Structure 1
Amino acid sequence: MRDASHDQPPSPVIDEIHAREASASAAGYYFQALYALIILLRESNEDAEAVTLENLDDIHFSGNRPSLFQVKYSRTAKRTLTIASEQLWKTLANWSTLARRKITHHRLILVTSASIGDDNVLAVLMGNGSRKALLNALEQEAQRVVDENTQDSKKLTARAPLCREFLRLSQKERKHLIARIHLASERATIATLNEHAAKHLHLIEKKYRFSIAKRLLEWWALRAAQSLTPEKPEPITKAEVTQQISALLREMSTGTLPGDFEDAAPPEDINALKQAAGVLVQQIQLVRRGDGYTNRAVIARWKARMQREAWVNEGLTDWNEQGRFDLRLIETWKFQFEPACDNCEGGTEDEKIAVGREVLDWALRQAPDEQRISGASWNSSYMTRGVLQQLADEKKVGWHPDYEARLKEKP
């Protein structure tokens, strides 16, 4: 007989749960990949030391103190790790399998965002105390889960096969396994990894650490992905990271401002960008240019604003310096705008529109080559182009010869 449940339409609630699970899993993998850089910066002293992703474990550190890391990241706050936690038993099962394969010379480190109270039997893994009580508790919990699932199949839990894997080790092997485990309570999140990476860049001048850490993590994200493909060898060495840091330092020392948004995809909702730049849109409408021009202009404005904010936040420039650039850019615009207005003084509206279009085209195409950011090696054009659009939104520049009067007429 056909199960009637198969005829039911998909549940939006179930779909939402699956979407959230997929999102959480993706976040976990992303954090794990980025956290490997923190491990390499923190643990390594020699150029040949390296990390490998998804080999023997989530992260395999090979060096003077070879270590395997299980990284359990969660965006859910106030989670507690106990001997009944499934994430703990997944880790123990994986390490038990490695122990049976005689891979027994690594430190075993469980990195978790869950909390561990002082009265938690697992707290001993964060220090060097006796682990006898913990081993007994784990063995009893594993046996209890296995016995209950053997006696009553209705109580079958996901932990049962994990516990069986742990119990397949001899008592001596289990003791040796628990002796090698260390628990690291990690409060870092994807959003704060820049700060954590910066703390390990001790030899870099403090004002540059956050900026270099940010770009190092961006490079690392791609390099970590490549390490999982045939494109590049799997291990990522300390030497390779050191070379990347040196390259970033050279850029800083030559005054190069990083271009973070040159290839950045703008928000999908282009209408939101237009609403945020209402005067800019009106300026383009005055010279009767269509959506193509408007879209390019608001995206250029968005890129410039985002880049400026990033530079200031990272201490690479300040708003006073940005203001001086604006003044220079306005002067450059005047050399283009004022003669054009003189040439069409007393002209028809069509002639004024034609002149305004020329000024707008200049702002989008030629201006970036005529005005660069002073004192910096900057080869990208989107900053000048975008700042001009921002100034147009602030009515400090314009395209139509009568833009000031026309904009006053608009509500």
Structure 2
Amino acid sequence: MESFSAADSLVGYVYQCEYALFRALDTDDPAEGFIVETFDDVVVEGRDDAFELLQLKHHDPAKAKAFTDRSVDLWKTIRIWSSLVRDDAVDPSKTSFFLLTTAQASPSAKLVEFLAPTERGTRDIKAAKGLLTQIAAGATGSMKKNVEPFLALPEATRDVLIGNMTIVPGVAVIESLRKKIVKRLSLTGATTGNLECLAQSLVGWWYWVLIERLRSKEKLAIGKELLQERITDLVSQYVVSSLPIFEDITNPDADQKARLLQRLFVQQLMAIGHAPDKFAVAGALVDVYKADGHIKRWLEGLRLQPKELQEFKDQLYGHWAAKFGAIEPDAEACLGRDDEESELAKLGRTALSGSLSGSQAKLKDVELDYLRRGVLHIMANETMIGWHPHWIAKFKPSE
């Protein structure tokens, strides 16, 4: 029988907490939320009721045994997952099941190949099903308790469960995991001397939020947006608030221009008379490329919160609304005239020109004309705004 000391249990729980934090830092999906110790060690709530259940097995590297197809860690985990499926606590078709262990895989372990992460391209679900069924059917002694819920599932349900299983051996031990968290936070711009302090402050906050969630009856997930807000608050104590400008984001190449030309903001410009091979569209392509490239890096580097970007868009929307509102009476007067379409296009060019100039909108402390212009075109691409007086009818899908 495997025994664990209180210290082992504490390390294991700390590992669950810090792995959840690392996983939250590493995702780009603002819709994801994270819970510790509910259905599984770590639960990730995604879109459309999708879940990821993560079982984390932390072992002292000096004592850890190699991971095999009959490891207790594996079959205890399969028992937990099978029981959740049996009790209708989770839908296996909408759930991804991950077993992550710090133990290294034995050379004889086949399931780590058959159920490897999909990006490795070596998965073999049919072979995994055969091996798992064979091992479960031949289980004896204490092993029988772990295989019973698995064997009790209908075969079709077992197939879905196995198809959504992933086994990852050799993951970072807790000491290495903290280094990964620090490395991820280095993207925020905190100086090397402050990174450890930033990480410690964030981890301390994360623990308190987890404690609050665990005490709550609702077991609410910790959202990505809440984490981003806290990082931004902490980063302000360690870094200069300015957003960096990246010298390598300058002009799109030929392929990038070709892709940009297919986007809706170009159609909006063409609707008011701007040809795709003329300066107005060419300038818009550069503005969108530079603005979009910088914003993605700022978000990825945790320098910028989505809500800060939305506030910037709100400022630009107000500026656009004032310019667009000024042409609406003249647009109404054009209706029914022989030159109606050409006059509407001309009014649209007036709205465009006014919107692209004169705004005082700032993104944090950055005031760049190409950023304002680029985001306005991005908003036109998202049909938040438009230039033609009838842009809603032309471009905004009916709801």
Unaligned runs of 5+ in 2: 242-399
Q: Pairwise mapping of residues 217-256 of structure 1 onto structure 2 (< 5 A)?
A: 217-230=203-216, 234-253=220-239
- Counterparts of 1:173 and 1:94, CA distance in 2: 15
- Counterparts of 1:106 and 1:231, CA distance in 2: 23
Q: Which amino acid aligns with 2:35?
A: T
8 Å Cα contact 2:38-2:219 kept in structure 1: no
Correspondence for 1:63 among 33, 40, 46? 46
2:273 aligned partner:
none
Closer, same or farther: CA 163–233 of 1 in aligned 2, 3 Å: closer
**2:56 is paired with a residue of what secondary structure?**
strand
- Counterparts of 2:239 and 2:68, CA distance in 1: 49
- Counterparts of 2:226 and 2:41, CA distance in 1: 20
8 Å Cα contact 1:116-1:122 kept in structure 2: no
Correspondence for 2:33 among 42, 45, 50? 50
1:151 aligned partner:
none
The answer on 1:31 being equivalent to 2:20 is no
Closer, same or farther: CA 185–44 of 1 in aligned 2, 3 Å: farther
- Counterparts of 2:28 and 2:210, CA distance in 1: 17
TM-score, normalization: structure 2? 0.52
Instruction: Give deviations 1:2-60, integer Å, cap 9, x for gaps.
Output: xxxxxxxxxxxxxxx97x522212211121112111111123421x4210112221111
8 Å Cα contact 2:68-2:106 kept in structure 1: no
Q: Pairwise mapping of residues 11-410 of structure 1 onto structure 2 (< 5 A)?
A: 21-46=5-30, 48-64=31-47, 66-77=51-62, 78-100=64-86, 101=88, 103-104=91-92, 105-117=94-106, 119-124=108-113, 125-126=115-116, 127-128=120-121, 129-145=123-139, 148=140, 156-157=141-142, 159-201=143-185, 203-205=187-189, 207=192, 208-230=194-216, 234-253=220-239
- Counterparts of 1:231 and 1:216, CA distance in 2: 25
- Counterparts of 1:92 and 1:231, CA distance in 2: 27
**2:236 is paired with a residue of what secondary structure?**
helix
- Counterparts of 2:158 and 2:106, CA distance in 1: 24
- Counterparts of 1:172 and 1:233, CA distance in 2: 31
- Counterparts of 2:195 and 2:52, CA distance in 1: 27
**Residue 190 (structure 1) shift:** 2.6
Q: Which amino acid aligns with 1:241?
A: L
- Counterparts of 2:156 and 2:228, CA distance in 1: 42
**Residue 109 (structure 1) shift:** 0.8
**1:67 is paired with a residue of what secondary structure?**
strand
8 Å Cα contact 1:49-1:62 kept in structure 2: yes
8 Å Cα contact 1:44-1:63 kept in structure 2: no
8 Å Cα contact 1:117-1:123 kept in structure 2: no
**Residue 210 (structure 1) shift:** 4.1
Q: Which amino acid aligns with 1:136?
A: G
Q: Which amino acid aligns with 1:164?
A: E
What is the percentage of aligned positions where both structures have the same residue? Answer: 26
**1:193 is paired with a residue of what secondary structure?**
helix
- Counterparts of 1:209 and 1:49, CA distance in 2: 25
Q: Which amino acid aligns with 2:226?
A: E
- Counterparts of 1:219 and 1:174, CA distance in 2: 39
- Counterparts of 1:217 and 1:231, CA distance in 2: 23
- Counterparts of 2:18 and 2:129, CA distance in 1: 32
TM-score, normalization: structure 1? 0.51
Instruction: Give deviations 1:166-212, integer Å, cap 9, x for gaps.
Output: 10012222221111011223442332332111233364126354442
Larger radius of gyration: 1
Instruction: Give deviations 1:83-137, integer Å, cap 9, x for gaps.
Output: 2111111111111122221521111111111111454211222244212222211
Q: Which amino acid aligns with 2:127?
A: A
- Counterparts of 1:122 and 1:236, CA distance in 2: 32
- Counterparts of 2:215 and 2:154, CA distance in 1: 37
2:293 aligned partner:
none
Count of residues paired in the alignment:
228
- Counterparts of 1:26 and 1:211, CA distance in 2: 22
Closer, same or farther: CA 254–63 of 1 in aligned 2, 3 Å: same
Q: Which amino acid aligns with 1:198?
A: V
Closer, same or farther: CA 30–160 of 1 in aligned 2, 3 Å: same
2:378 aligned partner:
none
- Counterparts of 1:198 and 1:120, CA distance in 2: 33
Q: Which amino acid aligns with 2:209?
A: R
8 Å Cα contact 1:109-1:181 kept in structure 2: yes
8 Å Cα contact 2:57-2:100 kept in structure 1: yes
**1:71 is paired with a residue of what secondary structure?**
strand
Give me the CA root mean square deviation.
Answer: 2.7
Q: Which amino acid aligns with 1:189?
A: V
